[in-house]
Structure 1
Amino acid sequence: MSYTPVIPLTGMAGWQFLQRTADTQKATFNQDVQVRRETEYFLEKIGEVTSVDQLMGDRTLLKVALGAFGLEDDLSKGAWVRKILEEGTEASDAFAMRLTDRRYRDFSGTFGFGNILGARTGDEGFGDLIVQKYKDHMFEVAVGEVDNSMRLALNYANSLQSLVDRGLGENAAWYTLMGDQPLRTVMEAALGLPDKLSALDVDKQLVFFKDKAASVFGSSALGDLLSEDNVEKAIRIYMAKVQAEAGPSASTPGYAALSLLQGGTASALSSAGIANLLLSRA
């Protein structure tokens, strides 16, 4: 990809800039020559694909198909991808159903090759759906190459929404979140949980997550955490932690004053002090 997203600031200031410019930057990204070539080709050809062999035999089609589900790193894993597609998702022992990564069953189920009704590639709107998912994901990837914390923030609300939409029980949903590292990273920061929490028994981890969620957000129900205010709060706290760990910069609110108070350097401030300052100004 030749277009690089513009994120001139770090932390919350950078996130707010990205939010304000996201639509324009996405539109520019989508006009990238490579993105256009791949997605236009996919839209033209995917309706003719009726078998796993056909999809596997066209590298560009397979690249877009996998990328739409965040599985672009599996492009060279032919036997792995074929098994996922051919076995479908209707049998409990199907390969995709036995993998802990939910993306594989979503990928296999969406294309439908291994299921009773067969390929869904000819369904109305199928190509548009996959292309939009591909564009959204690849934009997130491009953002992550500039600042990975911004990619995690972009992913947070969408991944949480997808998790809630699955209709799992409350504990099952939390266990799934705890196993989703990008989502967990933002949630742990938002709840003020230590990284070493993962060393505990998973049931004990669940208690910590739910108790802290109720304290920070007023509810431990993931559906309630999807409110606009709670999503903004989670990302604000996460970004404050990221910037605190990175140390103060010229974009840190009050940086000039802090520099003067520290005799010309703000680097002596503790991470906790910087985080508190950022949260008070956000």
Structure 2
Amino acid sequence: MSFQPVLPFGGYAGWRFLDRTLESQQAAFAKAPAMQRDADYFRANIAKATTAEALVADHRLMKVALGAFGLDDDLPNKAFIRKVLGEGTLQAEALSNRLSDKRYAAMAKAFGYDLQPPRVGQSDFADKILVAYDSRRFETAVGDQDGNMRLVLALQRDLGDVAAKTTSEATKWFTIMGTPPLRSVFEGALGLPSSFATLDIDKQLETLQERTGALFGSPDVSQFSDPAQMEKLARLFLVRAELAGGGASAVSGQSVALQLLQGTQAGGGVLSLLG
């Protein structure tokens, strides 16, 4: 029987438990027989897949490749993935560069099928992909029990990298908007409605910056290089989600959560509640 993540309760308290036990839980999950079989097959065969066509033709390799970037749902979409990988990222008009979801460009860049030779033949390539695959598969298993917890795991993994980039702040925000898990956390934490994504892209950027500035003291993504700021973001997202869900764990903290939501009208006052 495979290892299942242990989540004794939900909400922010549940996240703190998961965060404290994350390393040991991930290690146990990666040792599961099915995960080991995936890893062994990928290490033994990925260097042979020297073209995008060869990778897509091997279901087991494609499973790991897509899983490493959280794109498991695209497993049946062979022609689409072959085009994404085959065109790579070097040309501005490449498909991966034109897609709003930046995970495709990250995958295409990692495999480097537009390079000669592609990166799949590098000695450390398999291990790099498998580290990402183990992490993403663990997140998926967590998400089977608690979708919000999965989003916070993705936040911890990805936001620091975006924040540390040397690109402009606007570019960082566009990356967040093009990365579904990060977008979901920010929209939830900032209390944005489901219709937000239908707004003009520049209006979305303006709103994200304004609300982030009001709640965190700065409109810049770079502030989330600070673990304390990232933790405040995760906490706000989970408290809002817990209140919206109305679960049992939300009841005892309901008054605090209501104050938190009301505090968004007064800007930085929310952060005093977040502590």
Distance apart, 1:270 and its partner CA: 10
Corresponding residue of 1:219: 218
Corresponding residue of 2:266: none
CA distance in 2, matches of 1:189, 1:79: 34
Distance apart, 1:248 and its partner CA: 4.8
Q: Is the aligned partner of 1:94 residue 2:94?
A: yes
SS in 2 for 1:54: helix
Change over 3 Å in CA distance of 1:54–1:151 after alignment to 2: same
SS in 2 for 1:223: helix
Instruction: Read off the aligned partner of 1:59 and give its amino acid letter.
Output: H
Instruction: Read off the aligned partner of 1:120 and give its amino acid letter.
Output: R
Corresponding residue of 2:181: 182
Whether the 8 Å contact between 1:96 and 1:104 is mirrored in structure 2 is yes
Aligned positions of 1:1-282 closer than 5 A: 2-115=2-115, 117-249=116-248, 251-252=249-250, 254=252, 272=258, 280=273
Instruction: Read off the aligned partner of 2:33 and give its amino acid letter.
Output: V
Unaligned runs of 5+ in 2: 263-271
Change over 3 Å in CA distance of 1:71–1:43 after alignment to 2: same
Distance apart, 1:204 and its partner CA: 2.5
Deviation sequence 1:232-264 (CA, Å, 0-9, x none)? 111111111111112252x45847xxxxxxxxx
**Which one has a bigger Cα radius of gyration?**
1
Whether the 8 Å contact between 1:243 and 1:275 is mirrored in structure 2 is no
Corresponding residue of 2:265: none
CA distance in 2, matches of 1:33, 1:225: 37
| Range moving further from structure 2, 32-41 or 181-190 | 181-190
| Range moving further from structure 2, 139-148 or 200-209 | 200-209
Q: How high is the sequence identity, in percent, across the aligned residues? A: 36
Corresponding residue of 1:259: none
TM-score normalised by L of structure 2 = 0.86
Structural RMSD (CA)? 2.7
Change over 3 Å in CA distance of 1:80–1:252 after alignment to 2: closer
Unaligned runs of 5+ in 1: 256-265
Distance apart, 1:25 and its partner CA: 0.9
Instruction: Read off the aligned partner of 2:80 and give its amino acid letter.
Output: W
User: Which has more helix, going by share of residues?
Assistant: 2
Distance apart, 1:166 and its partner CA: 4.6
TM-score normalised by L of structure 1 = 0.84
What is the aligned length? 267
Whether the 8 Å contact between 2:236 and 2:274 is mirrored in structure 1 is no
